[in-house]
Amino acid sequence: MIAIAPKPGEVDASHGPILYLESVSVSFDGFKALNNLSLYIDEGELRCLIGPNGAGKTTLMDVITGKTKPDTGSVFFGQTIDLLKLDEPAIAKAGIGRKFQKPTVFENLTVFENLELALATDKNVWRTLFAKLSGEQRDSIDKVLMVIGLSDHRHQIAGALSHGQKQWLEIGMLLMQEPKVMLVDEPVAGMTHQEIERTAQLLLSLQGERSVIVVEHDMEFVRSIAKRVTVLHEGSVLTEGTMDEVQNDPRVIQVYLGD
């Protein structure tokens, strides 16, 4: 068989999922936050991740982005990139971006500057010192400002934004990074009904182009975007399927309603 070898450091999802986690376990002082978890995400897929509080959803994102190193298991980005060997900036550079559960933007910088820092470009120290925005880069920031509805707030200090606007700004920063995989932790918390709808549209529009993993407790929102839903419980995958399949699964009902 003749296979074209991918260049080292480049994502190769030519055969198989773009992101896969196998038998991953993480424990904090003996408590298993992730327990032998396996998960496969395809290229361009939009996957929703649900589960009760403490199920391990955020911990899973921590493992993928290099914040937490698992005790056991393997985490691969494409066929070739072993994420456990990389640190956070290297993982970000490889093409995995993340929005945090608690919106974290740079409060002392303006909306525009927040996006500028996230911009996909060479993030080397000296290049950064002498960086000048090209017209093209300015345009891409303007475009994202439009998408996240903050064009009129571009020169505002990010700390002065509302909770919902901070969520949007963080999503905007994620878009600026142009990642291949986007991990989005609770994007609609604190948003109005309209804002939630726009977020749903935005995430749907990214399908095919990017792989997106969305963690959310708002079931109505999940229903409006989900193709495939994975349910996490006590650190492992409980079940996986369409929203309807999942919602009618007695084990899921048990987990959400029981004890």
Partner 1 sequence: MMLMDWYRNDKAAVWLMAAIVITVTLLPLGNLVFPADSPLRVTAYSISLIGKYLCYALLGLSLDLVWGYCGILALGQSAFFALGGYAMGMYLMRQIGSRGVYGNPELPDFMVFLNWQELPWYWFGFNQFWFALLMIVLVPGLLAFVFGWLAFRSRVTGVYLSIITQALTYALLLAFFRNEMGFGGNNGLTDFKDILGFNVHSDGVRASLLMVTGLILIAAFLASRSVINSKLGRVVTAIRDQEMRVRFIGYRVELFKLWIFVFAAVLAGIAGALYVPQVGIINPSEFSPLNSLEIVIWVAIGGRGTLYGGIIGAILVNYAKTLLTGWLPEIWLFFLGAAFIVVTVFLPDGLIGLLQRLPKRIPIRKVKAGAA
Ligand X SMILES: Nc1ncnc2c1ncn2[C@@H]1O[C@H](COP(=O)(O)OP(=O)(O)OP(=O)(O)O)[C@@H](O)[C@H]1O
By beta-carbon proximity to Mg ion, the closer residue of 101 and 247 is 101
Under the criterion CB under 8 A, does residue 106 sit at the interface with partner 1?
yes
Under the criterion CB under 8 A, does residue 104 sit at the interface with partner 1?
yes
By beta-carbon proximity to partner 1, the closer residue of 189 and 204 is 189
Sole residue written with tokens 């999503």: 171
Q: How far is the CB of 130 from partner 1 (least distance, A)?
A: 7
CA 59 vs CA 62, 128, 146, 215, 249: distances in Å: 5, 31, 32, 11, 24
By beta-carbon proximity to ligand X, the closer residue of 68 and 137 is 68
List alpha helices for 125-192, DSSP H.
125-129, 135-147, 163-176
Residue 173 binds which of partner 1, Mg ion, ligand X, none (CB < 5-8 A, kind-dependent): partner 1
Under the criterion CB under 8 A, does residue 130 sit at the interface with partner 1?
yes
Binding marks (x or -) toward Mg ion, 83..112, rule CB under 5 A? ------------------x-----------
CA distance 230 to 214: 10
Distance in Å from the first CA to the final CA of the chain: 54
Binding marks (x or -) toward Mg ion, 42..61, rule CB under 5 A? ---------------xx---
Residues sharing a CB contact under 8 Å with residue 225, sequence separation 6 or more, in sequence order: 46, 48, 200, 203, 204, 214
Q: Can you spell out the DSSP letters for 69-125?
A: --SEEEEEETTTEEGGGS-HHHHHHHTEEEE-SS----TTSBHHHHHHHHSSS---H
Residues binding ligand X (CB under 6 A): 28, 33, 51, 53-59, 101
Residues contributing to the site for partner 1 (CB under 8 A): 65, 67, 87-89, 92-93, 97-98, 100, 104-109, 113, 116-118, 123, 125, 128-131, 173, 177
The residues that touch Mg ion, with contacts defined as CB under 5 A, are 57-58, 101
